[in-house]
């Protein structure tokens, strides 16, 4: 294959990527990227070949969460070579920018051109799963990204328990349904804080909203991840938490089982 030629994404016997899965959210800051990297890691630990496409062009945080922000993407013979994060292949705008603090101030069409290039020209090789971290929200941007990716297997929606977040997440579920894509399920993140002293759960943003919303919208509820200072510090250190023996890690193992079936 020439370097300019499109990478095949079809789910056919000759396919290089078996399952394209998008991770979406109604708004930013709810933990969409955290879910993307931990799901990728959980799949890797289960023996799958995994890649992550950071389609959040303006806020590309995947390399930071994977601890590879000092790398750069290079052009190989088969196309753009993804960076390797302990076995996870990753492509992100942050691996192209000269400084991690450089703002990306591209307008819509340029962003789409960049994402298109990531989809077509990255030499992912053989992958069981490509996790695509969508831009947040339900504007033209995430919608256009979804339209660019052929043969999507489905979407996971990440929400937090506040009413405003749930309202936006409903829109994200509807966006996915409108595009005739299966909703794999909803993850509620930042659901309560376990007090390290008294071990009681403090429901800072109420609780159970994600599950109720999933029920109302007739989609599967995948589980709740509590607020955990370790999730944040591990993320900041470029590490995942799915290796551990915590309820949050269990959720990802459950999702892997669901994706296998
Ligand atoms: P998004 O991709 O939706 O913008 P991120 O995954 O970048 O959100 O998460 C935003 C911030 O919140 C990060 O610093 C991350 O480490 C932190 N975070 C995410 N989930 C949790 C959690 N369950 N507990 C504590 N911090 C979290």
Cα separations in angstroms, 56 against 60, 63, 161, 212 = 5, 12, 23, 28
Q: What is the pLDDT of residues 28-73, one digit of tens each?
A: 999 999 999 999 999 999 999 999 999 988 788 999 999 999 998 8
Test site for ligand 1: of 26, 31, 201, most ligand atoms within 8 A of the Cβ: 31
Distance CA 38, CA 23 (A): 12
- Enumerate the H helices of the chain as residue ranges: 32-45, 62-66, 108-121, 140-148, 163-178, 209-216, 229-236, 247-260
Distance CA 21, CA 132 (A): 6
**CA-closest residue to ligand 1 atom 27:** 232
Q: What is the pLDDT of residues 128-186, one digit of tens each?
A: 999 999 999 999 889 989 998 888 999 999 999 988 888 899 999 999 999 999 999 99
The torsion of the CA quartet 62, 63, 65, 66, rounded to 10 degrees, works out to 120
Task: Write the class of the CATH domain 17-260.
Answer: alpha beta
CA-225 nearest atom, ligand 1 = 23
Ligand 1: residues with CB < 6 A are: 25, 28-34, 61, 136, 189-190, 225, 227-228, 231-232, 235
**CA-closest residue to ligand 1 atom 6:** 31
ipTM of the complex: 0.99
Q: What is the pLDDT of residues 82-138, one digit of tens each?
A: 999 999 999 998 888 766 666 666 677 787 888 888 888 899 999 999 999 999 999
Is a pLDDT exceeding 60 seen at residue 1?
no
pTM: 0.90
**CA-closest residue to ligand 1 atom 15:** 232
Distance CA 244, CA 261 (A): 24
């Amino acid at each position: 294959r020439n370097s300019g030629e499109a990478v095949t994404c079809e789910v056919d016997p000759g396919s290089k990527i078996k399952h394209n899965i998008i991770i979406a959210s109604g708004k930013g800051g709810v933990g969409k990227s955290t879910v993307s990297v931990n799901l990728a890691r959980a799949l890797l630990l289960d023996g799958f070949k995994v890649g992550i496409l950071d389609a959040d062009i303006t806020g590309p945080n995947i390399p930071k969460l994977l601890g590879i922000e000092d790398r750069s993407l290079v052009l190989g013979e088969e196309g753009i070579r993804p960076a390797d994060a302990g076995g996870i292949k990753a492509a992100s705008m942050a691996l192209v920018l000269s400084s991690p603090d450089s703002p990306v101030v591209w307008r819509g069409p340029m962003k789409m051109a960049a994402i298109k290039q990531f989809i077509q020209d990255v030499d992912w090789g053989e992958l069981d799963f490509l996790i695509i971290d969508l831009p947040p929200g339900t504007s033209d941007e995430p919608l256009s990204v979804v339209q660019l990716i052929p043969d999507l297997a489905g979407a996971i929606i990440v929400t937090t328990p506040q009413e405003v977040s749930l309202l936006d997440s409903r829109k994200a579920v509807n966006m996915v349904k409108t595009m005739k894509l299966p909703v794999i399920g909803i993850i509620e993140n930042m659901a309560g804080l376990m007090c390290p002293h008294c071990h009681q759960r403090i429901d800072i943003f109420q609780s159970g909203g994600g599950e109720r919303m999933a029920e109302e919208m007739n989609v599967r509820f995948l589980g709740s991840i509590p607020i955990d200072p370790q999730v944040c510090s591990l993320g900041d250190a470029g590490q995942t938490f799915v290796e551990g023996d915590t309820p949050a890690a269990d959720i990802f193992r459950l999702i892997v089982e669901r994706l296998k079936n």
